[in-house]
Amino acid sequence: MTTIERNLQAVRERISRACRQAGRDVTEVTLLAVSKTFGPDAVRQAHAAGQRAFGENYVQEGVEKILALREGVPPGAPCAPPIEWHCIGPLQSNKTRLVAAHFDWVQSVDRLKIAERLNEQRPPEHPPLQICLQVNVDGGPNKSGVAPSELHALAHAVSALPRLRLRGLMCIPEPSDSFEQQSEVFLRARTLWDQLRAGGFELDTLSMGMSDDLEAAVSAGSTLVRVGRAIFGSRTAQQATSAA
Ligand SMILES: *Cc1c(COP(=O)(O)O)cnc(C)c1O
């Protein structure tokens, strides 16, 4: 068994345990493997071990990997078994065209201008781009993410764009060692998500939780955890190896 396979199994067990403790069904939580900084071979290994959804932060790097994983697959046909690619990093206007052409999801939409560009640039032969709005739940002034007070207006505008499909919210709270503190911030995101759903938005995705805080996120209602290091190992060690 490869390290990645073993790590994946351990992460899946953490998710199942967290679901059991929260009285949730394990099928309610999707695992997104965050493969940023790791090469196509790491993705292939995880894919061979049953992983289907992958997250990338850097557009150029992500597109290169998407194309590498499609090698030998006829144009227009899906990979077998299919891979779902999520863009989870901050998005600049000059990168939206590449994202719209290659990714299946964008979780980091935090302003209308970016959403409008993705909508215009999504190729007509592809299904609508699946969207999460990134929300700044802990209020840091320099952080990406829409302010909670502006979330409803953004959700309203984005859901009117025909080539996008609004699926939910994503948040990246400041790291904390305390389960209580982690939970408190995740519950704020959960409340915003509940409010939008109560307001008529058909959302099914609450993307929160990473390697160090996925248990708190699952207990607060996360439906998608984004896990990098616990699957692929430490990124600095990896970068040092690949630079050597
Ligand atoms: C890197 C990253 C992750 C994964 O973080 P780990 O701590 O490696 O699990 C999740 N979400 C986003 C937005 C990231 O940038």
Could you read off the pLDDT of 189-216 as tens digits, one per residue? Answer: 999 999 999 999 999 999 999 999 999 9
pLDDT score, position 94? 97
Domains of the chain, first to last: 3-68+80-243 (3.20.20.10)
- Structure token pair of residue 11: 């992460």
pLDDT score, position 238? 56
pLDDT score, position 67? 95
pLDDT score, position 72? 83
- Structure token pair of residue 87: 């863009």
Q: How long is the chain? A: 244
Helix residue spans in 124-176 (DSSP H): 148-159
Separation in Å, CA 99 to CA 44, 120, 121, 152, 188 = 21, 12, 9, 24, 29
Instruction: Using the mean position of ligand 1's atoms as its centre, give its distance from the Cα of residue 210 in Å.
Output: 6
Q: Which residue is closest in CA terms to ligand 1's atom 11? A: 226
pLDDT score, position 243? 42
CA of 34, closest atom in ligand 1: 4
Q: Which residues of the chain have pLDDT under 70?
A: 237-244
pLDDT score, position 143? 81
pLDDT score, position 81? 82
CA of 226, closest atom in ligand 1: 10
Q: What is the CA angle 61-117-40, rounded to 5?
A: 15
What whole-number distance in Å separates Cα of residue 244 and Cα of residue 242? 5
User: How, if at all, do strands 30-34 and 53-56 pair?
Assistant: parallel
